[in-house]
Amino acid sequence: MVNSARLRWIAWALGAWTAVVVGRLVQVQVLDHRMWEAESARQREGTIEIEEPRGDIVTRDGRLLAGSLEQVSLYANPRQIPRAAWTKVASGIAALVGQPAATVLAELEGHDGFFYVAKDLDPRVADAVSRLRQRGVGTLRTERRVYPNGALAGPTVGFLDAEGHGQAGLEAFYDRTLRGVPGVYRVLRDGKLSPTQLDPRLEKAGRPGQSLILSLDCRIQQAVEQELASTLARTGARGASAVVMDPATGELLALGSAPSYDPGHIGQSPPDARRNRAVEDALEPGSTFKPFIVAAAVTAGVLNPFEMVDCSGGGVQIAHFFIRDHARFGLLPVREILAQSSNAGAIRIAYRVPPDHLDEMIRAFGFGQPTGVGLPAETRGLYHGPRFWSVLSRAGLALGQEISVTSLQLAQGYSVIANGGMLVHPRLVLDTRDRDGRSVAPAQPQPGTRVMPAVLAGQIATMLESVVEEGTGKAAGVPGYLVAGKTGTAQRASRGSYTGGRHVAWFAGFLPMPDPKVVIVVCVDQPVSDYWAADIAAPAFGRIAARVVTLLGLMPEAGGQA
């Protein structure tokens, strides 16, 4: 006989289980219907991001340095194509992508789901694909970055990686601005989570990238790069850089670095060529630093710009060290100390200046800190304040040692002398514009900072004229124009000491006097044929300056050099 108590217990258990199942079904199908519907959609659908067109990089005179070509990628999903139609579909696709039909058929047979048949195709292929009217075959818009002017301003422009992200130069620093916002599309996914839908649905509209309008003048940039390349060929130097800057506004008309590279073929360039030497190479400035020592002494009230300074003895004794001059001078006016680049005179002037004031002036000229030009690898240079100085440090600074600067920092410093005493920050990007050419974020130049009185700046500028007229910088002259500037020949420091045979040749200057419109700095690193700045950097400056005044239409000044 069946135990009635056991039957009642089984019936009760089955009833309770049934109630639980029914309750759960009610919860899932009625109460939580929307939640589970959304979860089902989440599993059936997915989203993909489609990059919008990347913004252009354009010079002030309209030359396209970096742009994007609209292209398409053709995809296929064999699961959505009837097996009997594969041969016909492969033949149709092959005609569009320039591949043998057998190759496309093998691709269809080798994939279980969504895959790209070909990328970087002409946009007209999209219309041809739509005419195939074949489910499982379609196109997605893509972009290909192009650099129409090759290596022109390559280290400044930068390049992209395989994923389309900026890796150097402006492409990296302004990556988010140039990329814009990708569009989000919703697509169906198969069991392996591969997109399958022919026409993705727009989920969220994207925004095209914004374009950069640069201060660079492509004609001047090209002239600078040609001169740097020829200088490397003549001297066998390891590298060179040059800057052309408007001293009044800080706008950079050229930023040259050699050797250069083509951003569109980055794999063909050695790593050493990918540096922007104008902002990444920090080197001792040599005697180009002497005008800043003079400025510090005059502003400290310890030097009269017109006084005579004792430069005799063939050098200077500092503690137990005798620092030689390159010639034996007697009493020299300050202008002749710069014109003849007297080491003894510059050192004696430096030791008149209180350390704190000398430090303050060096920093006021912008040394020891990045210029903020907007390039990702810019270095701040090397400069330590009085707390780290030795008894020889002021002598070292007078000779352009114990400090390293970039070509751009030196151009910024010489702009202070050229523009009447104001520190202006270099500007590379003048404007940011949307796809329709409307200005979105015009650059707001920072107000200049007074470094020294305008009268003193003018006096030092006049002193630097004598460097070109009768001193070490004669080769920097431009017929018909008054040029001011300073040579600098420095030994290249390595691991705290100087290595024989390794030098850096500089020339920094501006023209036309008395109202300079451009500052130009030339740096030649480790020349082989010769190393004196008067023979290497000064002539390169003169050739660049001659082309710049012509390109800018600057008229010769009365009394200019014949």
* pLDDT above 60 (res 80): yes
Ranked by mean pLDDT, which of 215-224, 268-277, 500-509 comes out on top? 215-224
Token pair in block for residue 118: 């070909």
pLDDT for 27 equals: 65
- The mean pLDDT value for 1-10 works out to 68
Helix (H) or strand (E) run with residue 45 in it: strand 45-50
Q: Are strands 403-404 and 422-423 parallel, antiparallel or unpaired?
A: unpaired
Ranked by mean pLDDT, which of 79-83, 159-163, 179-183, 299-303 comes out on top? 299-303
Contact between residue 544 and residue 242 where contact means Cβ atoms under 8 Å apart? yes
pLDDT in tens, 463-485: 999 999 999 999 999 999 999 99
Read off φ and ψ for residue 433, nearest 5 degrees: -125, 150
| 40 vs 205: CA distance, rounded Å | 24
| 277 vs 261: CA distance, rounded Å | 12
pLDDT for 520 equals: 98
* pLDDT above 90 (res 41): no
* pLDDT above 90 (res 39): no
What confidence category does residue 358 fall into, taking pLDDT thresholds of 50, 70 and 90? very high
pLDDT for 192 equals: 46
Token pair in block for residue 206: 């994207």
Token pair in block for residue 67: 């742009």
Name the more confident of 32 and 551: 551
pLDDT for 8 equals: 72
pLDDT for 150 equals: 94
pLDDT for 139 equals: 86
* pLDDT above 50 (res 198): no
**Which pTM value belongs to this model?**
0.84
- The mean pLDDT value for 274-283 works out to 95
Per domain, the residue ranges of the chain are 218-431+439-552
* pLDDT above 60 (res 43): no
pLDDT for 239 equals: 95
- The mean pLDDT value for 90-115 works out to 89
* pLDDT above 90 (res 148): yes
Residues near 89 by beta carbon (within 8 Å), at least 6 away in sequence:
76, 81, 108, 132, 134, 137
| 432 vs 271: CA distance, rounded Å | 30
Read off φ and ψ for residue 138, nearest 5 degrees: -165, -175
* pLDDT above 90 (res 360): yes
Contact between residue 140 and residue 348 where contact means Cβ atoms under 8 Å apart? no
* pLDDT above 90 (res 326): no
The fold adopted by the segment(s) 218-431+439-552 is Beta-lactamase (3.40.710)
Of 199-208, 270-279, 454-463, least confident by mean pLDDT is 199-208
pLDDT for 58 equals: 97
pLDDT for 26 equals: 66
- The mean pLDDT value for 414-440 works out to 95
Name the more confident of 251 and 446: 251
pLDDT for 180 equals: 81
* pLDDT above 70 (res 359): yes
